[in-house]
Amino acid sequence: MDRFRHHRDRLWCEEVPLDVLARRVGTPAYVYSAGTIRDHVRRLRAAFADLDPLVCYAVKANGNLAVLRVLLEEGCGLDIVSGGELARARRLGAPGARIVFSGVGKTRAEMEAGLAAGVRLFNVESEPELDLLEQVATARGQVAPVGIRLNPDVDPRTHRHITTGRRENKFGVDLAAGERLARRAARSPALRLQALQCHIGSQVTSVEPYAEALGRVAALAARLRPEAPDLEWLDMGGGFGVWYRDQAAPGFEAYAAAVRPIVKASGLRLLMEPGRVLVGNAGVLLARVLYEKRGGGKRFVIVDAGMNDLLRPSLYDAYHRVWPATGPPPPPLGEEGAGERADVVGPVCESGDFLARDRALPPVAPGAVLAVFGVGAYGFAMASTYNDRPRPCEVLVDGARYAVVRERETHADLMRLERPDAPFQAVEDRADPEGVA
Ligand code: LLP
């Protein structure tokens, strides 16, 4: 469900026509619907209402400050994975009590910043990480709140690149090691064991893997409880799926029903870290058609957005709906539209540079605007400047109004940190290990 509609021969984001917006702000442009984001948070909360979860939005999905502000105003907390994401949270004044610090490779500096910000939880993923957190907390005279990220070895049946809860993935620790780490954290005066966490993957479109994983985590929590009086949270991670090609992802109610009995029986509170499901369907990428050409029996529509702007199709073979911003209505989700098949490709010098392949698409003239759907999550967030292409602007629509919430990068921005005339410096002591690191 989202607030993108076809109406009077045009696509609209809320009450703003996308072709007009493209003319105003230029292309390529990411456009987000504030109303859709709010709807998603409210529907998630309603489905889980009786469990009163702490919903920490996964900033990595879309860290734009204006988007984060909408989520914070809806009462969400934030799930962060870097000092950079912490800086964003701080910039908006997000309270530490609503921040969860995740990530498999936190540095000492990131731990220090997290402790200084008073984050609610560090989700720890290995024994050496727990050692370092203990050291850093001791040095600061603080007690670090700890969650242990468990790898429950459950198959979430999603794309192999975004599966995280299998034994062979780099994330978390297995249940036996997790139990050991948890007991250690519970005993340490510098650590407070507050949570057990798992995150099984992303774009998970069945609910059973959640029940299976959380069941294993809850069983461990029950064993630990006598020694861990501060254990308060079951953190189920994120990963809820959205509708890309069809309506394959279940609704919030189905996810809630799957974990409800487990959470209730555990006596713990539920924490979750959804990213994609809150913002994924709240964004489109607008691109303009540059040329159309035919070759090898194929129709290519060449547009001004490429894999550097939207990486998911090239990286994961991800499917995003593409449709012209003016003209006939798009086909219903899951159905094929009318028109000759085409590959929609970008200007980047890679044959892997495409936004969509083999799609029925109505005729489009040069200058026509295409909307690429479902890119509110992991769209701009994964954009790069490859081929020296400035990253697109980001626009937030709210009702009948819009704001450019991140300006389009300029060529000067791309070169801003380069110092072609930087003086060469001698290295004093080549054996100095600090210098090498
Ligand atoms: N919590 C943890 C610990 C995570 O690693 C992630 C995502 C989330 C929460 C949020 O997951 P979500 O609800 O958004 O599925 N770039 C990929 C997705 C990578 C997800 C990484 N971890 C893509 O474009 O599909």
Find the CATH number of the domain harbouring 402: 2.40.37.10
Query: Residue 389 falls within a domain, yes or no?
Result: yes
Mind telling me the catalytic residues?
349
Query: Residue 418 falls within a domain, yes or no?
Result: no
pLDDT, tens digit (0-9, with 9 covering 90-100), for 63-107:
999 999 999 999 999 999 999 999 999 999 999 999 999 999 999
Q: 256 and 136 in one domain? A: yes
DSSP class of 281: G
Q: 87 and 200 in one domain? A: yes
Domain boundary at 274, 301, 324, which?
274
Query: Residue 38 falls within a domain, yes or no?
Result: no
Q: 302 and 221 in one domain? A: no
CA distance from start to end of the chain: 49
Work out which ligand 1 atom sits closest to the CA atom of 103.
3
The pick from 82, 163, 273 for probing ligand 1's pocket by mutation, whose C-beta has the most ligand atoms within 8 angstroms, reads 273
Q: CA nearest 288: which of 372, 182, 177, 199?
A: 372
pLDDT score at 437:
46
Query: Residue 291 falls within a domain, yes or no?
Result: yes
Q: 97 and 190 in one domain? A: yes
Q: How many domains are contained in the chain? A: 2
- Angstrom distance (rounded) from CA 244 to CA 42: 21
Res. 158 pLDDT band, cuts 50 70 90: confident
Query: Residue 87 falls within a domain, yes or no?
Result: yes
Q: 328 and 244 in one domain? A: no
DSSP class of 400: T
SS3 437: coil
- Angstrom distance (rounded) from CA 130 to CA 119: 16
Q: Give the range of the structural domain holding residue 184, as residue numbers without chain letter.
A: 63-274
Q: What is the domain-level CATH number for residue 113?
A: 3.20.20.10
Listed in order, strand segments (DSSP E) in 150-200 are: 191-197
Alpha helix positions (H), 96-163: 108-117, 127-140
The pick from 55, 123, 202, 312 for probing ligand 1's pocket by mutation, whose C-beta has the most ligand atoms within 8 angstroms, reads 202
Q: 334 and 243 in one domain? A: no
pLDDT score at 247:
82
pLDDT, tens digit (0-9, with 9 covering 90-100), for 411-436:
999 999 999 999 999 997 666 666 55
**Residue 127: is its pLDDT beyond 80?**
yes
Q: 233 and 191 in one domain? A: yes
Q: CA nearest 97: which of 44, 147, 56?
A: 56
Query: Residue 380 falls within a domain, yes or no?
Result: yes
